[in-house]
Amino acid sequence: MSSNNASYANHGTLPVAPPDLPAALAALIEQVPAGWVTTYAALAAALGSEAAAPWAGQWMLDHEHRRECPCHRVVRSDGRVGHYIGGQPNRKIALLRQEGIEVTGGRIEPRRLEMVFRDFQTDRPLLALRDIQQALKQRVSLRGRRTMPGLVAGVDVSYRGGEGVAAYALWDLREDRLAWSTTLRLPVRFPYISSFLSFRELPILLELIERVRAAGRMAELVVVDGSGVLHPRGAGIACHFGVLASVAAIGVSKKLLSGKVDLGGMAPDEARPVLVGGRRRGVALRPASGSRRPIFISPGHRIGVGMAERVVRRLLLGRRLPEPQYWADRLSRSAAAGRS
């Protein structure tokens, strides 16, 4: 696999080159004509998913700005002009007024909001990624492991600048100890967008696993920091990882992306089913110690809901997260910060 994070060809399901979303967003903004405004939500829709709106807003404050940049034409859906990378909001307001757009009290005139520019020329790159998720969902198996493994690994990714640091922590369940670990640092170019985490983290995780296998340290099962089947399209990062790495995988996340569960009054060590379409697809579990907040467990691949819960419970040793996931998180953060 290429070390520049661009190729998924060895694994056959993800695109050969992930879409360049920053370039796609910049191209959309260039299409907004003078005298018009657009919104972060409209830009996200043009990219193919409303989930991209928060990232679009953040990109507007971080992008490579130039004097003639039309980014001042992007406002919030409620009419507020929002922040401006080129200076104070007053500078953004002045530029809009120069183009004939009325702004009162920091808001666009309501009539203008009825004329938000949406006529973008776009191939909606995130729609193609949705299709990949839907196709991969068909390859996920919720059958497999029925006995407790002896070796379980955790994987996680932390970030610094434009790089990601992936960590692999191998936990020996027979002796309850960290048996081995390694990290890998690579450039990461795909942004964080909710429900599209796979396309940000899988390139570095899959290369990490190739190196783990070469070292003869592959676990029987891997706990992934993220969702399994508890995902809007039924295929979270733990599913992608399990299928493409050909390994049993469990997703353990700190937030719920999909499904219904009553979290009120949960007692320590209590688990409640998370339902999707009336069927149990995961579990909300409040750890016995370490936190009042639950974690959300769902199968990624080659394991069922019940066995996934059993494994995670066995790995909870006084923390909110199962031990291999805790150590992968800690190791990736330390390596990203330059600490050993």
Reduced to 3 states, what is the DSSP secondary structure of residue 88?
coil
Phi, psi of 15 (to 5 degrees): -65, 155
Tokens of 251: 């997703």
- What's the whole-number average pLDDT of the chain? 93
Closest Cα partner for 198 from 154, 163, 244?
Answer: 244
pTM of this prediction? 0.92
For 13-34, the pLDDT digits (tens) are: 555 467 999 999 999 999 999 9
The answer to whether the Cα torsion of 42, 44, 50, 55 is positive or negative is negative
CATH topology of domain 32-120: Arc Repressor Mutant, subunit A (1.10.10)
Indicate if the pLDDT at residue 3 is higher than 80.
no
Closest Cα partner for 327 from 165, 168, 159?
Answer: 168
For 169-191, the pLDDT digits (tens) are: 999 999 999 999 999 999 998 99
Instruction: Let me know: does 99 contact 121? Beta carbons within 8 Å.
Output: no
Specify the pLDDT at position 5: 42
- Cα separation of 115 and 110, whole Å? 9
Specify the pLDDT at position 4: 39
Lowest mean pLDDT among 16-20, 52-56, 225-229, 298-302: 16-20
Question: First CA to last CA across the chain, in angstroms?
Answer: 26
Indicate if the pLDDT at residue 197 is higher than 90.
yes
Phi, psi of 260 (to 5 degrees): -120, 135
Question: Catalytic: 69?
Answer: no
Indicate if the pLDDT at residue 112 is higher than 90.
no
Residues of the chain with CATH 1.10.10.10: 32-120
For 153-172, the pLDDT digits (tens) are: 999 999 999 999 999 999 99
- Cα separation of 184 and 164, whole Å? 8
Catalytic residue among 71, 101, 193, 305: 71
Q: What's the CATH code, domain 134-336?
A: 3.30.2170.10
- Cα separation of 318 and 300, whole Å? 24
- Cα separation of 88 and 96, whole Å? 13
Reduced to 3 states, what is the DSSP secondary structure of residue 103?
strand
Specify the pLDDT at position 336: 97
Residues in CB range of 304: below 8 A, 6 or more apart: 142, 143, 144
Residues of the chain with CATH 3.30.2170.10: 134-336
